[in-house]
Amino acid sequence: MKLTKSKNLYSIAKRYIPGGVNSPVRAFKSVGGSPIFIKKASGSRIYDIDGNEYIDYVLSWGPMILGHSHPKVVKALKRAVEKGTSYGAPTGLEIELARMVTKAIPSIEMVRMVNSGTEATMSAIRVARGYTGRDKIIKFEGCYHGHADGLLVKAGSGATTFGVPDSPGVPKDYARNTINLPFNNIRAVKKTLDKAGNSVACVIIEPVVGNMGCILPGDGFLQELRVVTKKYGIILIFDEVMTGFRVAHGGAQELYRIKPDMTCLGKIIGGGLPVGAYGGRKEIMMQVSPEGPVYQAGTLSGNPLAMTAGIETLKILSKIGIYEKLERRAEQLEKGIKDASKKAGVKTYFSRVGSMFCTYFTEQEVWDYRSAKMSDTKKFSKFFRLMLVRGINLAPSQFEAGFLSTAHTPSDIDMTVKAARESFKLL
């Protein structure tokens, strides 16, 4: 496989852009080598500038659930672009997308559009703080909620240690308000709330964690979280930026039957354009400016092109049978990968919810950050490279979820499993 042009562009990119990329994981740092530069993408396929073709399981890190350049989305966008690209004034498109979102996710009674998942989570937290008049927030180790200051905090050594900043530039005073707890550990939550419950504004969580691979909530964990947050008057925020319209039409909250107070969305609802959204109970969302005192704004928020791509995408996703189809494809992939690793004698743990999955290179069950970290990342890196040269584009990190789209065919899956069979044997 030739990657001459990609390597060349990467060295030029590094001169002008820090690390050559506009988002860190794209740089292939954790798997080694240089990133492939993309020329175009269509359906389940993505093409690099050296002319290599790949079956894509990154799907722009989640948004492209219909596959790349879906004809209906492209057609609607072409029509929309002729009418102007941004107005800075309201349009009917914003109402349409807001209606679709509130219909699919009933816990969202009102919603505000923003431009990224990061904006959605940081704004939701501000609203939760404004509403409750409390400062502290609880998040879980290994959950990613974008790159806002107070969210870039991992746990210290103890489970209930108050936050230490994870990145230079995050003020200690800010990070101190973030409490980090182990995922799937309701006892740690209860213990913390026993002490600090009345100073906690919100608990923010990825109900299915997609940012340390793919980790499922244990039996009753989300249910208990709902009960205990209610007890202390704490806002429960589901960060469904990845899982919304992915693991089910109504997101993880539909799947696990939980009603959070607030929900963050992004990725799929923008159909590949930059979008985020946060919403929830009306009483809480009425705090948002100009209705209420909590300020939040955006020059390009509710952008007509982004709304159009989102509306077209959600229209298709509301058709009957879409998620069943994704489930069938994902089952085929799961079975194939599991068989292939078993036959090659490679220890793996495959986890999946709907069309979101991860193959960990460990035999143990993965249920939190610590168990995810048990994975053999060297083996993953090797597997990643072996798959890439066989035309399979996986996320260049063990701790990212893989995704399927409605454009992936059974024969795409067969080809992927064949590549996996060869790759596992060579590990």
Ligand X SMILES: *Cc1c(COP(=O)(O)O)cnc(C)c1O
Enumerate binding residues for ligand X (CB under 6 A): 116-118, 121, 144-146, 206, 210-211, 239, 241-242, 266, 276
- Please give the Cα distance from 15 to 38 (Å, whole number): 19
- Residue 92 burial class via C-beta count within 10 angstroms: exposed 0-12, middle 13-18, buried 19 and up: exposed
Helix ranges (H only) for 47-200 are 71-81, 92-104, 117-132, 172-175, 186-196
**Residue among 10, 57, 131, 144 flagged as catalytic:** 144
Give the three-state DSSP class for 129: helix
Comparison of 298 and 391: residue with beta carbon closer to ligand X = 298
Rounded to a whole number of angstroms, the minimum distance from the CB of residue 399 to ligand X is 12
The answer to whether 166 is a known catalytic residue is no
Q: How far apart are the first and last CA of the chain?
A: 19
Q: How far is the CB of 275 from ligand X (least distance, A)?
A: 8
Peptide bond into 290 cis (omega under 30): yes
- Using the minimum distance from each CB to ligand X, give the nearer residue, 240 or 312: 240
Q: From the centroid of its chain, how far is CA 340?
A: 27
Q: Which of 136, 139, 267, 379 is catalytic?
A: 267
Burial category of 85 from C-beta neighbours within 10 Å (exposed 0-12, middle 13-18, buried 19 and up): exposed
The answer to whether the Cα torsion of 318, 99, 66, 42 is positive or negative is positive
Asked if residues 316 and 399 have their Cβ atoms less than 8 Å apart, the reply is no
Q: How far is the CB of 377 from ligand X (least distance, A)?
A: 20
Q: What is the dihedral of CA 81, 84, 85, 91, to 10 degrees?
A: -110
Comparison of 139 and 385: residue with beta carbon closer to ligand X: 139
144 or 183, CB closer to ligand X? 144
Is 144 catalytic? The answer is: yes
Work out how close the CB of 163 gets to ligand X at its nearest, in angstroms, rounded to a whole number: 18
In the complex, least distance from residue 160 CB atom to ligand X, rounded to whole angstroms: 23
Nearer to ligand X, 243 or 348 (CB): 243
What's the closest the beta carbon of residue 61 comes to ligand X, in angstroms? 6
Q: Round to whole Å and give the CA distance between 165 and 361.
A: 29
Q: Of how many residues is the chain composed?
A: 427
Which sign does the torsion angle of CA 313, 318, 321, 326 carry?
A: positive
Q: How far is the CB of 119 from ligand X (least distance, A)?
A: 7
Rank residues 236 and 413 by Cβ distance to ligand X and give the closer one: 236
Q: Of 130 and 266, which has the nearer Cβ to ligand X?
A: 266
How many helices (DSSP H) and strands (DSSP E) are in the chain?
14, 16
- The residue whose Cβ lies closest to ligand X is 117
Residues 6+ positions from 364 with CB-CB distance below 8 Å: 349, 371, 374
Please identify which of the residues 239, 261, 368, 412 carries the catalytic annotation: 239
- Categorise residue 303: left if φ over 0, alpha if ψ from -120 to 50, beta otherwise: beta
User: Would you call 239 a catalytic residue per the annotation?
Assistant: yes
Give the span between the Cα atoms of 401 and 171, in whole angstroms.
30
Q: Which is nearer to ligand X, 60 or 185 (CB)?
A: 60
Among candidate residues 243, 210, 214, 213, the one with its CA nearest the CA of residue 398: 213
User: Is the Cα dihedral 112, 115, 120, 122 positive or negative?
Assistant: negative
Side chain identity, residue 348: T
Q: How far is the CB of 391 from ligand X (least distance, A)?
A: 26
CA distance 144 to 43: 28
Q: Which residues are catalytic?
A: 144, 239, 267
